[in-house]
Chain A
Amino acid sequence: MSTPPSGAGSPELLRAVQAGAPEAVDAWFRAEHPEVYRLCFGFLAHPAEADDAAQEAMLHLLDQLGTFDATRSYRAWRTTLVLNRCRDRLRRSDARRKAEEGAARERPEGFLPDPAEVMGRAEVEGALALALRSLSPREREAFVLRDLEGLETAEVARTMSVTESSVRSLVTLARRRLRELLGAHLAPEGGEA
């Protein structure tokens, strides 16, 4: 990640933000926004939606920061709030669901570029969104939290309010679906991308 979560969630910074120190709010916002945007992108699988949702979630987080219990994990608290905002957003938008059903049948063409290449960024973003949209919302949540965010299974289960075995099943299904979708488009090891 470009910014470590510990930066935005450090107790000193959070206390300063809660006290309303302008420079602390700025620092917190700058550190936190990329993390929140990525989460929103992961859960919503749509760049423009993720941008809107991230802005909205940031303001919501800032608003709710006063209720954060410092004895708990800041990251878990933040992720749960963002997930709930994204769920609300998905629930509100029935059109989104229909679009997802259509997008799930789409397939990337040709070989996928290496995400490390700057030139293919837009293409990578599009392919990533497409791949995420091929998952059901629950699979996507579990996959983003477990495999992309690197949370432990127990943490994912708590965040999603499901059992750990459900998380394992969802992650397994998501991985299998992604392998089926992307496998043919990924250069084999040692081959060219």
Chain B
Amino acid sequence: MSDEREPLDGEARELRALYRSLQPPTTADELAEADPGTVRAVEWMRAAYRGLVVPPCALPRATPRPRRAARPVPRVLALAAAAAALVLGAAALWRRLARPAANPGPERVAQVPAPVAREGVEILSVLPDRLELRCGPVRLVLLDPPPPASADGPPGS
């Protein structure tokens, strides 16, 4: 390989001279140091920015709303819910225990558990102090004990 550099022809020399004369852009902070065209453009932008019409804002609720005290669930409803859960559980258990006798086939390796029939629960009676439910052979009676008798009153009244 030769170390000799190719002689520059006229165009290449001119290009090199132009390249060397290139000045990096000024990165002045202050706008005042920029050319008038730039100043006009930036001032127009600034005026337009400051004159922007701001759309109305939605004000938030300043103070958090106080939480409402949880309403006490009526006693009869709570009892009914508990009873329904008990009856459903009992019904599911009963069905599960009854199933092997009906399907004793050993070849069945997996079974999807049958959904519990909610419509099987029957409400027999709802009274202020008594709730009676039935599901299949299971019957459930829930009693609300009466308030204790006053000590001042005569016994048995």
Contact = CB atoms under 8 A, between A and B. Distances in A.
Query: Are A and B interaction partners?
Result: yes
Interface of A: 1-2, 20-26, 29-30, 33-34, 37-38, 41-42, 51, 54-55, 58-59, 62, 112, 114-116, 121, 124-125, 127-128, 131, 143-144, 146-148, 153, 165, 168-169, 171-173, 175-176, 178-179, 181-183, 186, 189
Contact residues of A: prevailing secondary structure = helix
B59 A29 contact: yes
B40 A176 contact: no
A30 B41 contact: no
A41 B40 contact: no
Instruction: Give me the 8 closest cross-chain CB pairs, A-B, nearest first.
Output: A22-B62, A115-B47, A25-B62, A168-B27, A33-B57, A115-B48, A128-B48, A34-B54
A114 B29 CA distance: 26
Contacts of A173: 25
Residue with the highest number of chain A CB atoms closer than 10 Å, among B26, B35, B49, B57: B49
Residue with the highest number of chain A CB atoms closer than 10 Å, among B40, B41, B42, B64: B41
B118 to A, nearest CB: 44
B55 A178 contact: no
B18 to A, nearest CB: 20
Contacts of B40: 179, 182-183, 186, 189
Contact of B51 (A116, A131, A144, A153): A116
B48 A127 contact: yes
Interface of B: 25-29, 31, 34-38, 40-42, 44-55, 57-60, 62-64
Nearest to B35: A179
Contacts of B59: 25-26, 29-30
A140 B95 CA distance: 71
Contacts of A30: 57, 59
Contacts of A121: 51, 53
Contacts of B29: 146, 153, 168, 171
B34 to A, nearest CB: 6
A176 B38 contact: yes
A81 to B, nearest CB: 16
A51 B52 contact: no
A175 B34 contact: yes
A38 B53 CA distance: 9
Contact of B60 (A62, A127, A175, A181): A62
A135 to B, nearest CB: 10
A178 B45 contact: yes
Nearest to A146: B29
Contact of A58 (B26, B37, B55, B57): B57
